[in-house]
């Protein structure tokens, strides 16, 4: 099983690390966005199924993306990958529908168990 995956982070290095963390054969296609507004456009255009989402970005932040997904009732599996690891922020993104929260920098050892837990890998 493979998915259309969107990596949304304003850091190109963080996007590169996130892409490397995807399990072999997991992603049929990988799209990238540098802010939340771009992410919403990519989701609309390509029907994204799984997203790795940063929280702190220009234009539209990760919380804004989660709120927009919820408002539009879009079914995207979101894993937040962020340096903002405050418990209150973690709770907020989980309430908005994120599957899990990974502190930066991401690696494959962190992502694969989450994908397995939700039956995605």
**Number of separate domains in the chain:** 1
| pTM for this predicted structure | 0.95
Distance, in Å, from the CA atom of 99 to the CA atom of 78, rounded to the nearest integer, reads: 6
The two most distant CA atoms of the chain are separated, in Å, by 34
pLDDT at residue 74, as a whole number: 94
Enclosing domain of residue 113:
3-117
Check which CATH number belongs to the domain holding 42 and give it.
3.40.50.2300
pLDDT at residue 99, as a whole number: 96
Beta bridge partners of 81: 102
pLDDT at residue 1, as a whole number: 76
Mean pLDDT by 10 residues, the chain (121 residues): 95 95 92 98 97 96 97 96 89 96 90 94 90
- Give 38-51 as a DSSP string: HHHHHHHHH---EE
Instruction: Report how far apart, in Å, the C-alpha atoms of 71 and of each of 15, 50, 64, 68, 107 are.
Output: 26, 18, 10, 5, 30
């Amino acid at each position: 099983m493979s998915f259309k995956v969107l990596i949304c982070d304003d850091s190109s290095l963080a996007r590169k690390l996130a892409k490397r963390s995807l399990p072999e054969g997991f992603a049929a296609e990988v799209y990238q966005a540098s802010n939340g507004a771009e992410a919403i456009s990519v989701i609309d255009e390509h029907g994204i199924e799984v997203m790795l989402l940063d929280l702190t970005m220009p234009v539209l932040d990760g919380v804004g993306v989660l709120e927009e997904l919820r408002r539009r009732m879009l079914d995207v599996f979101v894993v937040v990958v962020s340096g903002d690891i405050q418990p209150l922020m973690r709770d907020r993104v989980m309430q908005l529908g994120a599957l899990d929260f990974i502190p930066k920098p991401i690696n494959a050892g962190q992502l694969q168990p989450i994908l397995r837990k939700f039956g995605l890998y």
